[in-house]
Structure formats: structure tokens, C-alpha cells
Amino acid sequence: MRFFKDIKNVTILTLVILFFIGIPHENSRFILWVLSGILTAVLVDAVIHRLIHHSWDFPKSAIISGLIVSGVLSFDESFWLIFIFSSLAIISKYIIRLHKKHFLNPANMALFIATLFHFPLTWILESNRYVLILAGLYFVYRLKKWGQVIGFIAVFSVLMFVDGANPFSMISWFFVFIMLIEPKTSGFGFVRGVIFGLIAGVASFLILTFLPQYDFFVVGLFIVNLCNPVLDYWENKQKISLH
Amino acid sequence: MNKFPFILLMCIIFFPLYAQTDVTQGHHHVMGQMDTSFISQNKPDENKANSCPFSVMSDENNTQVVRYQEKTYRFCCADCAKLFKENPQLYATKIKTIDFVASQFKFTPALITVNKNDIVRLMVTSTDVTHGVYIKDYHINVPIQKGEKKVIEFVADKVGTFAIMCSVYCGSGHHQMKATLVVKK
């Protein structure tokens, strides 16, 4: 049971289950692609950790980043791309920092660069929505990220409905329950979470409407991640004024 | 030192926007040779001047017009029109026009078969949400919004079987949305 106490273990288990569900529908290249993504991310993270902290550490978060990057990026692309984007995910975590902590979702950062260069994101790891929703609700409960999920689904659904589309056929549960609620970069607290979700939802809708050549979920999350310093500043100001 | 992450971030964001080249919008005057470097994409609703060659009835702004076998062929320039006039039969028979419909989560038809050096014209529409047509080996990546109609043109100069994928997230079955392009010798 100790295994399930660590939310990272449960996330890895969920992603691995989704990976195995996806295998029968794809070819052997998909297996190699995902394994390459994981290995690259783990190696890069281990080496950087060693250089910075002079110690070895098993990087569970790198496994998650590697799984997300390789599971979202199209595996029909050249293999060197998965090495580059998995590495970028980890490197961005160590380089792009503010107040000694990263504020951009590492996997999303790599996918953002991929979509900027028009590499297609096929979201293959979104292989079973029931597993995703079940595990996702558990993650949201454990991480207390209700605000992010409610804010995003509410605003994105309303905007899509107004636009004449069925919102629930367009929401990526993989994005909502795996990427949007990333513990360190999605903020803490219900109100902050709702604001985070609202910005992500509006940004995603605007990208889909006006710049459909870019992946709207990934760009939406990147935009709201960029707002993190401003949201932190606003949150701190609120706390000071309350005291 | 604190500015370093932001400078890096800005470089990451703006470099691809500056450096990216959209090969699908290229226009090369190589029709006469049926050359492998010819790739063009016509977008009826935008940038009409770039949409030659062989844009049948789609671009009103293409001033060079040639009538051949009761069809109107429009060209962006006199050179393209001249090349066509030299051997209209050759080019007219090589144009393969295909109505290509994107919907959740399939392309119709799911299989497109053409011959090598055919000029493939995909008349793409989307019936429900925004989709994208992505053919890696032909450097084609075009988003299509609901109700929109786009014309994608290219010379099928590579023999083989190629996957046509949806490049815009369109729902939970997005990863299964595929079609096949077969180019025969």
C-alpha cells in the first residue's frame, strides 16, 4: 500500500496502463517511441540532478514527463525528435525558473515548442477515457485541484457551446486530469485554481478559434503557466492585505 | 541573471515563429517538367495570389485564364498559363480532384489512390469541429475549421503509402483519425 501513498507512483501506473491499452491499436514503433521518451527524460534528469546536487536520485517526475511527451507527440515523426523534446522538457524545468522554482509544466513546455514548429500532437496516450476519468478524479481529490478542473471545464464548455460545438466531445480528459493539474505549476487553493482553470479555458478556446494550426490545449496551458508569476504576486498581495 | 529565463523563453517562443517556413504555400514554376519540387496549396479564402497553378474555378483573383475542354483553368502568371497551353492534355489528365471530408473521427474517403506525378487536389471540408490534414512526407499540415472549404494541391512525386492524419485535436478519438494515401508508380 506504500506504493499508492506516493501520487507520482499512481500517476506513472495510470500512464503505463494507458500505454498498454494503446499498444494493440498501434505498431511496434509506438512502444519504442514511448520507451525512448522515458529513457531520455530519466537520463537527462539524473545527469542534471547529479551535476547540481552531487547525488543520484531516481527521477519519478522525469518518467511522467517522458511518458506525457512521447504519448502526446506523434510517433510517426523521426526518432531524434523524441530525444530532443524529452530532453527539452527536463532541461526547461531546471533553466526556466523564478524564485528558485519552475513555473512552467515541463512536459507541456516541450510540447509547446513541438506545436510551434508544427509537429502534430496525436494524444495517443488518451487511449481510454474511463481509466482517465477514474484516475483523474482520484488525482484531483488527492492534490486538491478541484478549482483548476471546474474553472477549465466550465469556461471551455460554455465557450464551445456558444460556438455551436458539443463541448464534451472536444475536452481532452488526458489534458484535464494529467496535464492541467500538475502539482507544482498549477497553483494552490480553490480560488487560485478556478482562476487558473478559467485562463486556461479561455486561452485554449481562443487558440482553437484563431490559431488552429497550434495545439490549443498545450498553448492554453503554456499561457496560463506564464501567468503564474502574476498570480503569485496577486495572491501574496491578498495575503498581506488580509494580515 | 534573473532576466535570463525570460530572455530564453522569448527566444524559444519567437524563433520558430520567425524561422518557420510553410512549404505548403510555396509556388514553383516547374509545371513543364512535372518536377518533384512542385508543391502548392490553394486556399480559396486567403492569399489568392499564391494559389496557382491549376486552381480550377477556385481563385477569382488569378488573372490568367485558359479554357480547355469546358473547364476553366486559372493561373497566377503568364508563364504558368503558357506552360499549360503547350501541352494541356498532359496536365489536365494529371489533375486528380478528390472531395475529402473530415469529421469526428474519420476522413472520407479513407483511402486515396493516385499515380506518380499526378497533381492531387484535395477539396477539404469539415462537417463538425476543427480538424487538420497532415501528410508528413509531403510537408502538408493544414487546419480546416467547421464549414470551411480548403483546397490542398501537391504533386504526388513520391511513390509509396503515406498516412494522412488529423493534426488538430478533435476529441477523444483524435489519435484514430487517419486515412491513407497510396501513390503508385
Q: Is the pLDDT of residue B44 over 50?
A: no
Q: What is the pLDDT of residue B7?
A: 63
- Answer whether B168 sits within 8 Å of A170, measured CB to CB: no
Q: Which of A68-72, A170-174, B14-18, B27-31 has the lowest mean pLDDT?
A: B27-31
Q: Is the pLDDT of residue A131 over 50?
A: yes
Considering only CB atoms, which chain B residues are within 8 Å of A215? 168-169
- Answer whether B20 sits within 8 Å of A164, measured CB to CB: no
Express each pLDDT in A219-237 by its tens digit.
999 999 999 888 888 888 8
pLDDT, mean of residues A119-125: 94
User: Which comes out higher in pLDDT, residue A101 or A9?
Assistant: A9
Collapsing DSSP states into helix, strand and coil, what is residue B118? coil
- Answer whether A76 sits within 8 Å of B165, measured CB to CB: yes
Q: Measure B58 CA to nearest chain A CA, in Å.
A: 23
Amino acid at position A195, single letter: I
Count of CA atoms in the C-beta half-sphere (13 A) of A78: 5
Collapsing DSSP states into helix, strand and coil, what is residue A201? helix
Residues 181-240 of A with CB under 8 A from B: 208, 212-213, 215-217
pLDDT, mean of residues A53-62: 89
Considering only CB atoms, which chain B residues are within 8 Å of A212? 130, 132, 143, 145, 168
User: Which comes out higher in pLDDT, residue A214 or B44?
Assistant: A214
Query: What is the rounded distance in angstroms from the CA atom of residue A178 to the CA atom of residue A148?
Result: 12
B159 neighbors B116 (Cβ within 8 angstroms) = yes
Q: Is the pLDDT of residue B116 over 60?
A: yes
Q: What is the pLDDT of residue B5?
A: 59
Express each pLDDT in A171-208 by its tens digit.
999 999 999 999 999 988 899 999 999 999 999 999 99
C-alpha cell at A193: 485554481
Asked if B32 is an interface residue toward chain A (Cβ–Cβ < 8 A), one would say no
Output the pTM of the full model.
0.81
Continuous H helices in B20-143: 78-86, 88-94
Asked if B5 is an interface residue toward chain A (Cβ–Cβ < 8 A), one would say yes
Asked if B11 is an interface residue toward chain A (Cβ–Cβ < 8 A), one would say no
Secondary structure letter of residue A73 according to DSSP: B
Q: What is the pLDDT of residue A206?
A: 96
Q: Report ipTM for this prediction.
A: 0.89
- In chain A, domain spans: 1-127, 142-243
Pairs of CB atoms within 8 A across A/B = 75
Asked if A117 is an interface residue toward chain B (Cβ–Cβ < 8 A), one would say yes
Average pLDDT over chain B, rounded to an integer: 75
- Answer whether A212 sits within 8 Å of B12, measured CB to CB: no
Q: Measure A99 CA to nearest chain B CA, in Å.
A: 9
Instruction: Please name the residue of chain B whose CA is at the shortest distance from the CA of residue A93.
Output: B5
- Answer whether B130 sits within 8 Å of A121, measured CB to CB: no
Q: What is the pLDDT of residue A73?
A: 96
Any idea how long chain B is? 185
Query: What is the rounded distance in angstroms from the CA atom of residue A162 to the CA atom of residue A156?
Result: 10
The DSSP-derived string for chain B is: -TTHHHHHHHHHHHHHHHH---GGG-----GGGT-TT-EEEE-TTS-GGG--SS-TTT-TT--EEEEETTEEEEESSHHHHHHHHHSHHHHHHHEEEEEEEEETTEEESSEEEEETT-EEEEEEEESSS-EEEEEGGGTEEEEE-TT-EEEEEEE--S-EEEEEE--S--STTGGG-EEEEEEE-
pLDDT, mean of residues A95-124: 92
Considering only CB atoms, which chain A residues are within 8 Å of B172? 126, 129, 169, 172-173
Question: Nearest 5°: phi and psi at B28?
Answer: -125, 135
Interface test with B, best of A122, A131, A225, A227 (most B CBs within 10 A): A122
Q: Residues of chain B with pLDDT > 70: what percent?
A: 66
- Answer whether A25 sits within 8 Å of B5, measured CB to CB: no
Q: Is the pLDDT of residue B23 over 70?
A: no
Q: What is the pLDDT of residue A238?
A: 78
